[in-house]
Each structure stands twice: as C-alpha cells, then as structure tokens.
C-alpha cells in the first residue's frame, strides 16, 4: 500500500476515527509522548477506600448518589454524619496494582476509591491535563468533587483536560477504579492471568500550550527506506500553522501547513541509518509548530512480507522470540517500571532473542521504549482473548477503542513490527467478522506494520504415527503473518507427539509459532516423564525445536512464556500456588533447564 498524499486522503477519516476521536465521549484525546511534556508526577501514596458494595457511588436504592465518596467530604461540625474519610484511610502506591500490595486484596475484584491532593499553578495561557498511564478496568475520575469523565479498558492511557478547573492550592483528584469482570467486556470473564486492579501505571499533570502538538506519526513509508511519511495534528484555537518536522542528525526536514482541523500530512526524503536489533539507532525528531515543539527519539526501519518471508529493512529475518506477560520480576504483581522492563527484556536478550511477543494486552510504555533502545522487535497484542461476546456491538466498540488507543500511543516505536488482534479465539463467522474489522481499522490507522493473531491449530486425522496439522483458520486470509499456539507435549499428548507432527498451511504466509511450552517449578527435578519437573519441560522443548526446524514457513517462535506469572486458574498446592509455571525463568530470575534449550536453538538461528 502506498502511503502518499492520495492514501492519506482516503484514510484520513479512518485515522481520525481510530486515533483522534476517542469513542468514549467523556475521555479527552490521550496525549502522546507524555515524557516529553512539562509535567508533574502524581505518583506515590494515594489514600484509598475499598468499596465492595459501591457504597460510595450508589445510594441505598442503588441510584448514583450525589454525595458519593468523590466529594471527599468532611463533617463541618460533630453532629454531621459522614461515614468515610480518605485522610485517615490506608494508602496504596501508585503506580501499582492493589492485589499485590495488601494481603486482604489478593483476590479482590471490585471498586477501590483513590484520592490524592495537590497544588498547581497553571501558567497563563497554558492548558492542563490529568494523565493516567492505565487503570484496570473502569475508571471514573473526579476533580474537586466534580466528574471529569470515565474510561474503560485496563491497558491504555487516557487523559482529561482540567484547564480552568484546577486551583493554585488544595485540589483533590478522586478515582473510582473497578476491576469487576464482565461477560461482554474486553477481556471477558475468563483469562489465564491475574486481574490486577488499580492505578497500575503512572499518573501525572501535563501542561501544554493553548494550541499544542497533540499527535504525530513519523515513520518510514512502507517499503521506502529513503522516505519519511506520516502526519501531524495540532489541538487548540490556532489550528492552522506551519509545522516543521526535522531529523537534525540526518539533515532532513519538511515544513507543512496544518488545515482547519489542525492536520497536515507529511513526506520527505531522508538518508537514515536503519534501526535493527543489531543497531537500534534512534534519531532525535523535532516536531516544531509555531506554538509548541515536541522532541522524540524515533527509529526508522521497514517491515514487509514476501511469500513466507518477513523482511526487515529488505532482508529476510527469523524472529527469535519469547512471549512475555506484564508481570513484575522478583516481586510479582503488575510490572510498570523502566527497571521491570530492562530485567524482562534483558532475560529475553540473554536467551538470544531479537523479538518479544508482549502478550495479551498492550504493555506499559516503558517496555516499548526499552525495546526500541535495546533492539528488540515487538509483537503488540490486543486484549481480545478467548471467548469475547462477538455479536455485541458495545463489545466491538470497546475492543476497537482499546486497539485505537494502543496504536495511538505506540505508532512511532520502531520496535513494533506486528499488531496482533486476538489470542486463541474460537472460529465462527461472527468472530472472524469482528476480527477482520479490527484488522481493517489498524491497517487504516497504521499502513506501515504487519497484522497477525495467535490462532489455534487443529489436527486433521491424527493416528498413532502421524499428526498432520493444517492451518486453515479463515482469519488467516486477512493477516500478513500467521500466529499459531500449540501445546503438543502438555495439553496435547506427550512430548514425542511432536516427532510425528507435520505442519501445512492454506496460506502462502510466514508463520510464527506464538506459543508452546509446559509448566515446571524451578528446582523441581525428576524423570522427564513427570509433569511439573524441569526435566519434563526441557524434554517438551527438545522435541518442539526438532519439530519446528522442519516447518517450511516458520519465520519465528515465541515460546510460552519468559517468566512465571500469577493466574487464578492455577491452584495446585506446592507447585503452582496461583502461578502459571510455564516460565523459562522463575519470578526470582532463576533459569529453568528449558531456557537453555531455547538459547541453543536461537544460537543455531543466529544468522541475522
Ligand atoms: C494459552 C494461552 C495463554 C495461557 C497458556 C497456558 O494457550 O494463550 O494465555 O496462559 O495457554 O499456559 O495454558
């Protein structure tokens, strides 16, 4: 697809739909690249009230109350009855999930109210936003007792404008965070990971000029290593301005004029050192409008497919990957920090990876920024997992909004080469229609990257000595790269079954084996036939790599999973203790035997 001016005209309404206009009317457009803005962190200790009956939201007739906890009320005299008090309530750390911070919240799913006070003098003529990296799952945000808006979806950022609402002294922001699971939500009620609730990523106040650079897309035009293409979008009363986008180190720049909507497409030639795992070169890119300038470190690379090949910067590449959950190393809980990201991605590099699959939802921004710096290619995934309510329009709108927010946040990350729309969704017409719509939405918003999904496989007529598997999921027709999860040797027979399994595909497309693996408790040793031992897991991996080596279209592997992670589905005492143990590394960073099988396999693949 050509990403020129014509293309821009065609896809502008879709881009606007996908990137600029949030579906939740109450949520302001998120601010991209928050780290580059003038901001004040609201991270730290927030006062919290646990509210399982939502007593602070509904009255006793279950009607929304005018005097909910968001008022942060105090008795004016001792005769006044107020049955809550933030300032004498316990605190929780933000960012952070509540489950791993307080023992009695370990299994808690419901509402927790968060409150934090602050002073802030907005500079004259500036605008102020309160920005949330993520809140799982539903958040209603109030400032000084008034509702600002609401947001749904646990893994993407959102912001509300508070210009004119913030006083120089004594403001309070209250957030009702609710992580109850719902059948029609995204994800739905059933997942194999912990439903960590809370303000799981950072919160900040972000100040911008009255007309500011709201968003921009600056990447190489698809298949054109010498052309930077994209767009810029201003927000504010001075919509029409001249905007210069430059890459000073490369001596390349372009000046464009934004239209009445603050929008301008851009395209300019540039001689750039291309970003790759071997040389993750990032350039300082300046987006300079007349009223605002933003800088960002951006890498430039191309990604395409040709038949069953994946071409990075025009050259075939094998994706030596691993799947990763957003689980914090050493402490367990939702990961969020730069250190968490460096540790997890560092282990992946040690295994020999040039690629990570960030499953099963958009990870925190630090993971993507570090992947950009460390030279790891990324598969970024939507939380459309297992049995979503495919025929429900609201469910689609919710998934579509979460995907739009994820693409909006990360579209300038060189590391991301694949957007994945779903994981292991059962084939049906409504499901395929739902996912194809998501694929089309992402292609319109980001024509530069490849689309994939982790699909299931089905064997066609297995016998004791032959197990022919055909990849024939109809979704494959809409994707660029096929992802396939299989558990031969764990849920599906014994490890040896891999020896007589053969793979074929209805599509002439690259295949990534996006999951395979087995549980093992680090330090549990025994026979290679005994489940949960390191030896069993190692044996599964040995048989797997032999099988994988014979799949003609295989262009990548992301075994399940880098590190053990918490899951309420995994209760086995003494072994699982609420952890999925398929990690190649324990939560303490101890490497299991299978880690070294993958390391050896990746050494053999290290030709690129
Ligand atoms: C899968 C899922 C993944 C699970 C894994 C398992 O197929 O995609 O989310 O955690 O299997 O361990 O069963």
For residues 137 and 456, give the distance between their C-alpha atoms in angstroms, rounded to a whole number: 27
Q: Is the CB of 424 under 6 A from ligand 1?
A: yes
pLDDT of residue 101: 98
Angle at 378 between CA 542 and CA 350, to 5 degrees: 50
DSSP bridge pairs for 173? 116, 143
Q: Which two tokens stand for residue 144?
A: 């000084």
Please list the helix, strand and coil fractions of the chain in percent, rounded to the nearest 5, in that order.
20, 30, 45
DSSP state string for 473-500? -GGGGG-SSEEEE--BTTTBS-GGGGGG
Token pair, residue 272, equals: 């750039």
> Does the Cβ of 580 fall within 6 Å of ligand 1?
yes
Ligand 1 atom with the shortest distance to the CA of 485: 7
Would you state the pLDDT for residue 14?
40
Q: Count CB-CB contacts under 10 A for residue 477.
A: 11
**How many angstroms separate the Cα of 540 from the Cα of each of 377, 459, 496, 558?**
26, 19, 8, 15
Q: State in Å: Cα 419 to ligand 1 middle.
A: 19
Task: Phi first, then psi: give them for residue 377, nearest 5 degrees.
Answer: -70, 155
Start-to-end C-alpha separation, the chain = 27
Token digits for 17?
């739909």
The number of the ligand 1 atom at minimal distance from the alpha carbon of 490 is: 13
Q: Do 47 and 89 meet the contact criterion of CB atoms below 8 Å apart?
A: yes
Distance (Å, whole) CA 497 – CA 540: 10
CA of 505 to the centre of ligand 1 (A): 22
Does the C-beta of 326 come closer than 6 Å to ligand 1?
no
Residue 199: per-residue pLDDT: 99
Question: Do 358 and 418 meet the contact criterion of CB atoms below 8 Å apart?
Answer: no
Which of 452, 515, 564 has most ligand 1 atoms within 8 Å of its beta carbon, as the pocket-test mutant?
A: 515
Nearest alpha carbon, ligand 1 atom 4: 192
Residue 223: per-residue pLDDT: 85
Measured in Å, residue 576 CA sits from the centre of ligand 1 at 14
Cα Rg for the chain, rounded, in angstroms? 25
Query: What's the gap in Å between 335 CA and the centre of ligand 1?
Result: 19
In angstroms, the CA 132 to CA 143 distance is 14
Backbone angles phi, psi at 240, to 5 degrees: -95, 115
The pLDDT averaged over each successive group of 10 residues in the chain (608 residues) is: 36 38 49 96 98 97 97 98 98 98 98 98 96 98 98 98 97 98 98 98 98 98 95 97 98 98 98 98 98 98 98 98 98 97 98 98 98 99 98 98 98 98 98 98 98 91 93 97 98 97 97 98 98 98 98 98 98 98 98 98 86
Burial class (CB in 10 A: 0-12, 13-18, 19+), 333: buried
DSSP 91: E
- Contact status, residue 136 vs residue 197, Cβ threshold 8 Å: yes
> Cβ neighbours of residue 53 under 8 Å, at least 6 residues apart?
none
**How remote is the CA of residue 192 from the centroid of ligand 1, in Å?**
6
- Closest residue by CA, ligand 1 atom 13: 192
Q: Is the pTM of this model over 0.75?
A: yes
| Predicted local distance difference test score (pLDDT) of residue 431 | 98
Could you tell me if 177 and 136 are in contact, meaning their C-beta atoms sit under 8 angstroms apart? Answer: yes
Dist. CA 412–CA 410, nearest whole Å: 6
Residues 130, 143 contacting (CB under 8 angstroms): yes
């Amino acid at each position: 697809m050509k990403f020129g001016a014509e293309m821009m005209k065609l896809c502008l309404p879709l881009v606007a739909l996908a990137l600029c206009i949030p579906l939740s009317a109450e949520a302001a457009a998120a601010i991209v690249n928050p780290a580059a803005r003038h901001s004040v962190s609201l991270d730290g200790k927030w006062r919290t009230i646990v509210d399982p009956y939502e007593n602070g939201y509904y009255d006793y007739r279950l009607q929304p109350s005018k005097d909910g906890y968001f008022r942060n009320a105090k008795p004016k005299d001792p005769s006044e009855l107020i049955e809550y008090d933030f300032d004498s309530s316990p605190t929780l750390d933000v960012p952070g999930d509540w489950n791993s911070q307080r023992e009695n919240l370990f299994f808690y799913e419901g509402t927790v109210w968060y409150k934090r006070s602050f002073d802030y003098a907005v500079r004259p003529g500036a605008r102020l936003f309160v920005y949330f990296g993520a809140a799982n799952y539903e958040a209603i945000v109030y400032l000084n007792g008034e509702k600002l808006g609401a947001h749904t979806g646990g893994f993407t950022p959102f912001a509300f404008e508070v210009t004119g609402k913030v006083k120089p002294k004594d403001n309070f922001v209250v957030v009702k965070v609710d992580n109850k699971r719902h059948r029609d939500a995204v994800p739905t009620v059933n997942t194999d990971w912990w439903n960590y609730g809370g303000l799981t990523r950072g919160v900040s106040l972000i100040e911008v000029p009255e007309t500011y650079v709201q968003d921009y897309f600056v990447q190489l035009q698809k298949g054109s290593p010498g052309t930077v293409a994209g767009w810029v979008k201003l927000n504010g009363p001075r919509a029409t301005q001249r905007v210069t986008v430059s890459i000073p180190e490369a001596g390349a720049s372009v000046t464009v004029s934004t239209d009445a909507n603050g929008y301008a497409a851009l395209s300019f030639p540039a001689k750039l050192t291309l970003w790759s795992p071997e040389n993750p070169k990032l350039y300082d890119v300046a987006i300079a409008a007349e009223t605002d300038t933003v800088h960002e470190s951006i890498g430039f690379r191309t990604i395409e497919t040709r038949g069953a090949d994946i071409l990075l910067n025009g050259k075939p590449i094998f994706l030596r990957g691993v799947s990763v959950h957003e689980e914090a190393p050493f402490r367990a809980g939702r990961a969020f920090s730069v250190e968490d990201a460096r540790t997890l991605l560092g282990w992946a590099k040690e295994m020999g990876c040039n690629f990570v699959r960030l499953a099963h939802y958009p990870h925190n921004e630090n993971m993507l920024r570090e992947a950009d710096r460390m030279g790891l290619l990324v598969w970024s995934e939507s939380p459309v997992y297992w049995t979503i309510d495919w025929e429900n329009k609201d469910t689609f709108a919710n998934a579509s909004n979460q995907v739009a927010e994820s693409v909006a946040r990360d579209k300038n990350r060189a590391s991301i080469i694949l957007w994945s729309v779903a994981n292991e969704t059962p084939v049906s017409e409504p499901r395929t229609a739902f996912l194809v719509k998501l694929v089309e939405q992402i292609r319109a918003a980001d024509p530069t990257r490849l689309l994939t999904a982790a699909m299931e496989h089905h064997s066609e007529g297995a016998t004791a000595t032959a197990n022919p598997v055909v990849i024939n999921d109809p979704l494959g027709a809409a994707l660029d790269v096929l992802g396939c999860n299989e558990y031969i040797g764990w849920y599906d027979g014994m490890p040896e079954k891999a020896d007589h399994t053969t793979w074929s595909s209805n599509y002439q497309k690259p295949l990534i084996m996006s999951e395979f693996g087995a549980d093992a408790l680090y330090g549990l040793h025994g026979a290679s036939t005994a489940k949960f031992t390191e030896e069993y897991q190692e044996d599964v991996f040995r048989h797997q790599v032999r099988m994988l080596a014979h799949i003609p279209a295989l262009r990548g592997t992301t075994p399940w999973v880098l590190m053990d992670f918490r899951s309420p589905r995994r209760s086995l005492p003494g072994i699982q203790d609420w952890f999925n143990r398929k990690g190649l590394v324990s939560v303490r960073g101890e490497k299991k035997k299978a880690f070294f099988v993958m390391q050896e396999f990746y050494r053999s693949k290290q030709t690129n």
